[in-house]
Chain A
Amino acid sequence: MRRLIAFLPLAVLGAIAVPVIVSPAAATAFAAPAVCLPVVASAPLLASAPIDRALGGGDVVQAGTSADAEEPTMERLIDRAFVATVVGQPAGRPLTGAELETRTHEVGLLLRCPVCQGSSVADSPSSTAINMKNEVRDLLAEGYDQQQILAWFEASYGQFVLMEPKAEGLNMLVWLGPGIVLLAGLVIVAVQLRKSMRSGDPEATEATPAADPEMDEWLREARALAFGADGDRPADPNESHGKV
């Protein structure tokens, strides 16, 4: 029973920690460096860029804001035409005003900033994230829905750009893993519990170690050497208070 009690906190800790560690959100954070490995070489370059540019400020060319939505540049016309070939014609209705800004932020939260450490496009102040946010805003204003916009970014960057991995293929391990581990933990606890129940009085079994004449003999010798011929243990300080 003591063994069981000692095991329970570990099982509970595992049940809490493992799903957290293996949760899809955490998994993408762990997966990111693997996916991003080649980018590591260029990441410091971005980091070493002037702060004003990193923050999207300065006189860096920034286009694609909603302000110039009325007069699309050649780049944007080409971009829109190509987006349609990749994800099809807009499936939603064109958004404007506050609704456009709200949805831009919401969709931006679902996209990973490729030059940041685990930040979403909506959360990052980097110029890359700002460009991506502008792209999201453009597409929403055109009437593309969330699914189409995510598919457009995924077509260029791969699944790495999605803050949450899709529940398909090997990714299923990330989604089902925590449940499987939790279930396995419960099974182990149940098996241990059953074993203890079957072996009669578990307390008694645990308290009395299995008889081992060879070990007993050695213990007797060691005690005799340490405490005297009778092999008695020295009085416990706590006990001696009571004896006097």
Chain B
Amino acid sequence: MNVESPVTHAPQKKVGVNKTVLVVGLILVLPILVLFAMSFGNDPHAVRSPLVGREAPPFDLVSVQDGERVSLASLKGKPVVVNFWATWCEPCKQEHGVLTQGAKIFGDRVQFVGVVYDDQKPKIEAFLERYGSGYPALIDDGGKAAIAYGVTGVPETFFIDANGKVVSKYNGALSPDRLREHVAQLLGVP
């Protein structure tokens, strides 16, 4: 049953925009929106490293495979891909295949080097025996190289040109496409 209320509805008051609230709100919210907008479309793995565009920190480390020393200076004249990795890092296992394949494909033009971060020699040897070895795996004794390169986790890969300058850096496991892109950039080919 519908009973009509004898009381009319309350008169609607005009709700105006409080300019002060609007201005303060915009001042607070706009910078956040601008920051969000700036971040959209960025590849979270393509990190801006302070080393990009600068001379790559030198290293002279011992290879796990043959015990020989490998220095960055000895590789000068050829672009270098320096990959920081560890046996305890799961994505490194996945990336290892990509890099090994990359070393086979680009090996004549680019030198691939792995720097093992915070690890143990027997574990590295077991890892390489199981997953294969296509390029030197160097032990970073005391993490000096990792510190000089500003490594914050593994895997991280630095692409260094023939003159020893860092061209780009990639955080996380490289996919074949990403590796190809970075190597192409390193070699200056489209």
Given A75-B142, A128-B118, verify A214-B11 contact (CB < 8 Å).
Answer: yes
Asked if B152 and A221 sit within 8 Å, CB to CB, the answer is: no
Query: Which residues of the partner chain A approach B55 to less than 8 Å between Cβ atoms?
Result: 85
Asked if B120 and A75 sit within 8 Å, CB to CB, the answer is: no
Given A53-B118, A114-B152, verify A218-B11 contact (CB < 8 Å).
Answer: yes
User: Is B61 in the interface zone, CB < 8 Å from A?
Assistant: yes
User: Is B183 in the interface zone, CB < 8 Å from A?
Assistant: no
Query: Which residues of the partner chain A approach B51 to less than 8 Å between Cβ atoms?
Result: 155-156
What is the bound-complex CA distance between A20 and B172, given in angstroms?
34
Among the 9-residue stretches A39-47, A98-106, A194-202, the one with 4 or more Cβ atoms under 8 Å from chain B is A39-47
User: Is A60 in the interface zone, CB < 8 Å from B?
Assistant: yes
What is the bound-complex CA distance between A138 and B77, given in angstroms?
32
Query: Which residues of the partner chain B approach A127 to less than 8 Å between Cβ atoms?
Result: 118, 143
User: Is A7 in the interface zone, CB < 8 Å from B?
Assistant: no
Asked if A135 and B144 sit within 8 Å, CB to CB, the answer is: yes
What is the bound-complex CA distance between A156 and B150, given in angstroms?
4
- What's the dominant secondary structure at chain A's contact region? helix
Of B13, B69, B143, B152, the residue contacting A39 (CB under 8 A) is: B152
Determine the residue in chain A with the shortest Cβ distance to B88.
Answer: A49
Per-residue 0/1 for B129-158: is the Cβ within 8 Å of any A Cβ (1 yes, 0 no)?
000000000011111111111101111100
Report, as a range, how many residues of chain B touch the other chain: 35 or more
What is the bound-complex CA distance between A81 and B61, given in angstroms?
15
Report the minimal beta-carbon distance from B94 to chain A, rounded to whole angstroms: 12
Asked if A78 and B142 sit within 8 Å, CB to CB, the answer is: no
User: Is A227 in the interface zone, CB < 8 Å from B?
Assistant: no
Given A37-B44, A38-B171, A60-B120, verify A115-B144 contact (CB < 8 Å).
Answer: no
Chain A to chain B contacts (Cβ below 8 Å), 27 pairs:
A38-B44, A38-B171, A39-B153, A41-B172, A42-B171, A45-B153, A49-B86, A53-B88, A58-B120, A59-B120, A61-B119, A62-B142, A73-B142, A74-B60, A78-B58, A114-B153, A128-B118, A132-B143, A154-B50, A155-B50, A156-B50, A156-B51, A156-B57, A156-B147, A156-B150, A158-B50, A221-B8
Given contacts A39-B171, A43-B153, A82-B58, 18 further A-B contacts (CB under 8 A): A38-B46, A38-B172, A41-B45, A42-B154, A49-B86, A49-B88, A61-B120, A61-B139, A74-B60, A76-B142, A76-B144, A79-B144, A82-B148, A128-B118, A135-B147, A161-B150, A218-B8, A225-B7
Residues on A facing B (Cβ under 8 Å): 36-43, 45-46, 48-50, 53, 58-64, 73-76, 78-79, 81-82, 85, 114-115, 127-128, 131-132, 134-135, 153-158, 161, 214-215, 218, 221-222, 225
